[in-house]
Structure 1
Amino acid sequence: MSLEILQLQDVLKVGRSEGEVRQLLLSFCSRPCKDPEVVHDVQDFLHNKSINFEQMDIARTYLVFSTYKSVPVLVGYYSLSNKPLVISKKNFSKFSQSLKRKLMGIGHKTESDNYEIKGYLLGQLGKNYSEEALATKALCGADLLKMSTDSMTVAYKATGGRIFYLECEDEPKLKKFYQEHGFREIEEYKSENDLCIFIRRID
């Protein structure tokens, strides 16, 4: 079954009203959180932030479609930003000497002594768990991650950079998934949102 990737900015330009596009995005349902009162960030972003981020050029969102009973269905999405990974001077100073040496091989100190690596942030990666999307049996997490890294590779070839990186929750299954696909955790560091940071060097 074929898949089609459309950028959200293009969907917004093809004659649909913004309200119609918002209804399309609302067809996306993430896997439920452990707390039923909490909405997963991957769903909240697509429903409530993605259009604004697109219009403000903060991030690009890519919608992945398949078909079910000859009707197009949103089966997943990902969002990317051209954004360097920045680690504060205070946090960088806490790293082991061996980790500092590894990181300095791909990044540099700024004038304010923060540490920075030029790269691309995989801000969101989400499979649609709605009944219609699951019925297509068209997409798995590995497929979606490959699509996102392919898009980042296109951006890298156009503008340069050193890494692809992402933030994820400290869950063994999720961390193992990214490790199996070439990402490595900065083990001594958590983001401001208390999330794990995984990086993949661009060779």
Structure 2
Amino acid sequence: MEMQVTSLDSLIESAKGREDVLKEYLLSFRCEVNKDVESFLHNKAIDNEKRSITRTSLVVDDENNSEIIGFFTLMVKPFHFTNVSGTTRQKLTGNKKATIFNTILIAQFGRADFYKGKVAGSLILDIALEHCKLINKLVAIRIVSVEYEENEQLSSFYENNGFKVIQKNENGLAMSYIRV
């Protein structure tokens, strides 16, 4: 399967005056297992992109009419440490008394239902991490994090892909990290 990564920003730029066509394209993405991810792409991604809050990249199927296989959304975000050991703080920031650290947050991440069993989620994650490595080279942020509702499937997915749990955030979401 031939895949390509396309920035939402470039699609917005090329759709000037035809944003309804772009919205229709994004509405083709379906993710029944995580309606929040689907809703983000349908309802918030374009606005967040235009306002420079996040950057979304689409992984598309070159062989199937540029159908959306999956997507990921990145942003830089500071996080406050909560109940984290000095050793972990030292490892992440170089300062065992640090109260905050900057991270590249994979804010949204999803794969279309049609591609389940055809394209591994880890492949899309690898593409996202390659983007994070480029960000690291440009601005020296080396920690990538994800926040997610704790369940066995998500915890295993991120753990199997090298992420380590750091803390539970005040919103009840687990937070894991990886170095790039």
Aligned residues with identical type, % of pairs? 26
TM-score where L is the length of structure 1: 0.80
1:190 aligned partner = 168
Secondary structure, aligned partner of 2:157:
helix
Matched AA of 1:18: E
Aligned in 2, Cα 1:154/1:18: closer, same or farther, shift over 3 Å?
Answer: same
2:50 aligned partner = 55
1:134 aligned partner = 115
- Select between 42-51 and 15-24 the one with higher mean Cα deviation: 15-24
- Work out whether 1:41 is the aligned partner of 2:41: no
1:96-175 residue pairs with structure 2 within 5 A? 99-107=85-93, 115-129=99-113, 133-134=114-115, 137=118, 139-175=119-155
For the residues of structure 2 that align with 1:104 and 1:13, how far apart are their CA atoms? Answer: 42
Matched AA of 1:119: T
Question: Structure 1 residue runs of 4+, over 6 Å off?
Answer: none
Unaligned runs of 5+ in 2: none
TM-aligned CA deviation for residue 193 of structure 1: 2.7
Aligned in 2, Cα 1:135/1:198: closer, same or farther, shift over 3 Å?
Answer: closer
Aligned length: 178
Larger Rg, first or second structure (1 or 2): 1
8 Å contact 2:73–2:109 — kept in the other structure? yes
Aligned in 2, Cα 1:106/1:4: closer, same or farther, shift over 3 Å?
Answer: same
8 Å contact 1:117–1:162 — kept in the other structure? no
Secondary structure, aligned partner of 1:31:
coil
Unaligned runs of 5+ in 1: 34-39
* CA deviation vs aligned residue, 1:50-69 (integer Å, no higher than 9, x gap): 0111011110000111045x
Secondary structure, aligned partner of 2:29:
coil
Secondary structure, aligned partner of 1:80:
strand
Matched AA of 2:133: T
For the residues of structure 2 that align with 1:140 and 1:78, how far apart are their CA atoms? Answer: 14
TM-score where L is the length of structure 2: 0.89
